[in-house]
Amino acid sequence: MNRIAHFGALGAVATALLVSGGNPEPVAATPPTGACTALTGMALADGKVVKAEEVAKGGMVNTKEGTPGLPAQAGFCRVYAVLAPTPRSEIKVEVWLPAPTAWNGKLLGAGNGGYGGSMLLPQLTMQGALGKGYATVGTDMGHVGTADTDAKWALNQPEKIVDFGHRANHLASGVGKAVIAAYYGNAPKASYFQGCSDGGREALMEAQRYPEDYDAIVAGAPANAWSRLMTSFMATDRAVFARPDTLIPNAKLKLLQDAALAQCDAKDGVKDGVLDDPRQCGFDPAVLQCKAGDGPSCLTAGQVTAARALYRGTFDAKGRKFFPGYMPGAEAVPGAWDLWLTGPKAQHGIFAGEFFRNMVYSDPEWQPASFDVTRDYAAARRLAPVLDSDNPDIGPFLKRGGKLILYHGWNDAAIAPENTIDYYQAVQKRVGAAARDSVRLFMVPGMSHCLAGPGPNVLDTLGTIDKWRQGGPAPETMIATKYDNDLFGYLGFPAKPVRTRPLCAYPKVARWTGKGSTDEAANFLCVAPGAKR
């Protein structure tokens, strides 16, 4: 548990609450004038608050130097802290505090993404939560990067790797609670964590390694098996880019998507450009193979081989499944296969290359051409205790009343969706009845990586888990919405909803009743797999 030094009377209250583990209801007390700026200099166990400033509603909040800001959805006190738990560490943390009359009494920890390196991604989550009355906390994961694909900061920096792996978010949780106690005079009555992609890995790391940090956790598309995921990323990259004849031009992705939809779209009872469970499709890209040579309306034999490898997933040298593959039905959607798997700057190869060069081998000259699944995974596994959060034993978290929601888009081209299903099933097997009562998985048809895609993909996971943690029934459905601008819809900015669909707690699936619009969630029921309705 993080400790804070005395900060006047408010600091004494904060210290007492944190040491005692108290969790009283928040009070409506108003901090004295200037209380926000007075937080500047507040001592923390591993650092201090370096700046605190008032931000007015509508004021532009810069998330990263050189990028445009976003208007604040409410006025708040913006607190900047820097932590140095080791001489090599420099963890930047921000805490956003709504006005006392607007605070809902709760804390939300916001996950980062990729390799972190800035506050850009956490602050997208913090923006929306602030508008709902949450005090929020986020961190840059302990380093500065040129982009979230950059891991050069990790070269010969084992302590920074630990900060990224788990320490930064854990310490940020303590900072958030300490600053809240100092500002409001009370600890939060509930603390949640929400993240997707690497943020999902971070979320599960909190549940597994630090079960007392948060009361409820949302993990989307979690990159939890990090060492295995990065090894698989490099394998998929090699499947496409190792030879000229296996390159799949982005112009041909629509051939794959159209053929898969033609074969499988109607299988779920609604022909809407979305496969509800792509595993049932059984699509083989060989149906598109050119009879001879090459052409714009067919795939060469090498391109078929590469596409098959992407659908099948990664296998080890003994032919055993190593990591799941990617699903058909949205290959040509912008930001899907073109971004992650087949484009000239495919993210799989970039992420994995950074991992092996800077974390695994500490060799900036390491080249993908030397990659071998067996050898390189054995080397990568040395970092698993620091980076991986795929341990299914979350018993301590559940024992103290913790709730966990997992979700994953079926058409995620970054992290294979079956990885999350595998983890969910492992948790059920390991923890048993506690998991059945306190863990839910929602698979999202037509959703890309964390957001967007052809299907409804904006979800109120925070509202859902808040109702659950506050004593409501375990959620069996969530409503997903497709907007004319998915990002605006996600951020809470004006956007037009064009379709809604219920998401069903796994393994149930949504089926149209046969009456009413197929664009309205009210006309669907959750049924067991294989049932029509």
Please report where in the chains the tokens 């998330």 appear, as a residue.
63
Burial class (CB in 10 A: 0-12, 13-18, 19+), 94: buried
Q: How far apart are CA 353 and CA 357, in angstroms?
A: 6
* DSSP structure class, residue 69: -
Q: Which of 350, 50, 64 is nearest to 175 (CA)?
A: 50
Bridge partner list, 91: 83
197 is catalytic: yes
Euclidean distance between the first and the last CA atom of the chain, given in angstroms as a whole number: 50
Spatial contact of 410 and 275, defined as CB atoms under 8 Å apart: yes
Catalytic residue among 89, 191, 197, 438: 197
Catalytic residue among 412, 438, 466, 486: 412
173 is catalytic: no
Catalytic residue among 118, 449, 466, 486: 449
Q: Which of 244, 240, 199, 239 is nearest to 222 (CA)?
A: 199
User: Kind of pairing, strands 70-71 and 477-483?
Assistant: unpaired
Question: How many Cβ atoms from other residues are within 10 Å of residue 410's Cβ?
Answer: 25
Task: Give the containing element (helix H, strand E) for 162.
Answer: helix 158-162
Q: How far apart are CA 31 and CA 28, in angstroms?
A: 10
Burial class (CB in 10 A: 0-12, 13-18, 19+), 242: middle
449 is catalytic: yes
- Which residues participate in catalysis according to the annotation? 197, 412, 449
